[in-house]
């Protein structure tokens, strides 16, 4: 008898500023999941946070005239936190409470707040449903650019110089400004996709940049500009627990802004990618070791993409760790693994098999 297929809920959309990117990532995931092994339930989360049965159709989850896809409505459902259920349940008035589908594992293809930050991971822990990617602590720590840097530095990884502004601080005093120098990057502490980030080259622009970042997050981080090559490295955990880094990739930005902003990430064609990056063997190994080191420093599981600046002296400085990196067709994470011989479909199977092997609870 054929083995029962593994039921995967692919969850996408969500409440964060990266709703559309999540839908784009999910579109390619749905197109590439191995349907011979996995039975797929697409679950969309609207910008308001409602869960609905989503489209299982890459065509509906594509960029159209530079406009991102969005989950607006659909059959209403919920995932009870009760671990005796492990079912998606209808919230439609005529079928309320009826089970829609059992769920063996979740692929939270969500970026940013309420997705990549430990919150949905907490819900899934409570529901007793395994999920791909890091757990609650690692997701929350990696999402928070302040605490990620603190944990990475504590494990001996090099990070840049920064200052944190809490919700009541609107500017940096002279001492903190001169500690950072110029230029600086002003960022929401817990966001992604370059949303809310400004590069500031003149202190006259600093307060406006802080206000801009604060529209996304009350906590703002101001970082000294790092120089060097921008290099990313994929980390993947296999079902037997082995953790491996891909060959690093380099991105070379040629945008008007001069840095990897939102438009150059998703809309414009002005960034060049070298997969793999042109590096010496020694540099490659140093970056791969640092990527696995960062993965372990934050207690990650499943996958992460570790982003670096490689200084002129060849030292990897960690810029950030992404616990659910982009999975769009042009995203670097799947491309780095494809280069390493793990094609997109196999990559998804590994993520899900690792999640099922690990289970939930303390581990």
Ligand X SMILES: Nc1ncnc2c1ncn2[C@@H]1O[C@H](COP(=O)(O)OP(=O)(O)O)[C@@H](O)[C@H]1O
Provide the binding-site residues for ligand X, judged by CB under 6 A: 160, 185, 187, 191-194, 197, 223, 225-226, 230, 259-260, 307, 319-320
- Bridge partners, residue 317, by sequence: 309
- Which one of the listed residues 193, 246, 264, 349 is annotated catalytic? 193
225 is in an annotated binding site: yes
Residue nearest to ligand X (CB): 260
223 is in an annotated binding site: yes
Q: How far is the CB of 169 from ligand X (least distance, A)?
A: 19
Grouping H, G, I as helix, E, B as strand and the rest as coil, residue 247 is coil
CA pair distance 82, 103, nearest whole angstrom: 13
Indicate if 237 belongs to the active site: no
Asked if 200 contacts 186 with a C-beta cutoff of 8 angstroms, the reply is yes
Q: How far is the CB of 122 from ligand X (least distance, A)?
A: 21
Indicate if 158 belongs to the active site: no
Burial status of residue 212 (CB atoms within 10 A of its CB: 0-12, 13-18, 19 or more): middle
C-beta closer to ligand X: residue 284 or 323: 323
187 is in an annotated binding site: yes
Q: How far is the CB of 181 from ligand X (least distance, A)?
A: 11
264 is in an annotated binding site: no
Q: How far is the CB of 46 from ligand X (least distance, A)?
A: 23
C-beta closer to ligand X: residue 187 or 286: 187
C-beta closer to ligand X: residue 24 or 352: 24
186 is in an annotated binding site: yes
CA pair distance 91, 76, nearest whole angstrom: 5
Grouping H, G, I as helix, E, B as strand and the rest as coil, residue 263 is helix
Asked if 290 contacts 284 with a C-beta cutoff of 8 angstroms, the reply is no
307 is in an annotated binding site: yes
CA pair distance 280, 252, nearest whole angstrom: 18
Asked if 120 contacts 45 with a C-beta cutoff of 8 angstroms, the reply is no
- Which one of the listed residues 18, 116, 163, 250 is annotated catalytic? 18
CA pair distance 164, 216, nearest whole angstrom: 15
Indicate if 84 belongs to the active site: no
| H helix runs in the chain, sequence order | 19-32, 119-127, 136-143, 145-154, 174-180, 206-214, 262-266, 281-297, 332-339, 344-358
C-beta closer to ligand X: residue 171 or 201: 201
Asked if 89 contacts 79 with a C-beta cutoff of 8 angstroms, the reply is yes
Binding-site residue ranges for ATP: 145, 185-187, 193-194, 223-230, 319-320
Which are the catalytic amino acids? 18, 193, 331
Binding-site residue ranges for Mg(2+): 307, 320, 322
Binding-site residue ranges: 145, 185-187, 193-194, 223-230, 307, 319-320, 322
């Amino acid at each position: 008898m054929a083995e029962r297929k593994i039921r995967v809920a692919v969850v996408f959309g969500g409440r964060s500023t990266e709703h559309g990117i999540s839908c784009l990532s999910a579109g390619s995931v749905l197109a590439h999941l191995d349907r011979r092994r996995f039975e797929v339930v697409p679950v969309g989360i609207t910008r308001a946070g409602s869960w609905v049965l989503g489209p299982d159709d890459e065509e509906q989850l594509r960029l159209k005239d530079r406009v991102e896809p969005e989950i607006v409505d659909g059959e209403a459902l919920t995932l009870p936190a009760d671990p005796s259920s492990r079912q998606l349940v209808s919230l439609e008035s005529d079928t309320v409470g009826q089970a829609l589908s059992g769920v063996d594992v979740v692929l939270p293809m969500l970026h940013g707040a309420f997705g990549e930050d430990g919150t949905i991971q907490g819900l899934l822990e409570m529901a007793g449903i395994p999920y791909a990617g890091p757990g609650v602590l690692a997701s929350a720590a990696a999402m928070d650019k302040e605490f990620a840097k603190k944990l990475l530095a504590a494990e001996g990884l090099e990070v840049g110089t920064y200052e944190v502004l809490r919700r009541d601080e609107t500017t940096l005093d002279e001492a903190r400004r001169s500690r950072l120098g110029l230029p600086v990057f002003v960022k929401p502490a817990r966001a992604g996709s370059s949303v809310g980030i400004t590069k500031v080259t003149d202190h006259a622009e600093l307060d406006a940049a802080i206000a801009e970042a604060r529209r996304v997050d009350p906590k703002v981080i101001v970082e000294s500009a790092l120089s060097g090559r921008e290099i990313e490295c994929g980390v993947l955990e296999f079902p037997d627990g082995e953790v491996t880094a891909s060959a690093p990739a380099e991105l070379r930005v040629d945008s008007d802004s001069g840095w990897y902003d939102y438009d150059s990430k998703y809309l414009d064609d002005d960034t060049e990618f070298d997969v793999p990056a042109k590096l010496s063997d020694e540099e490659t190994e140093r970056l791969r070791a640092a990527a696995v080191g960062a993965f372990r420093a934050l207690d990650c599981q499943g996958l992460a993409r570790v982003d670096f600046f490689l200084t002129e002296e060849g030292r990897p400085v960690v810029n950030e760790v992404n616990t659910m990196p982009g999975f769009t067709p042009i995203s670097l994470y799947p491309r780095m693994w494809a280069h390493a011989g793990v094609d997109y479909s196999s990559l998804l199977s590994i993520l899900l098999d690792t999640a099922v092997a690990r289970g939930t609870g303390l581990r």
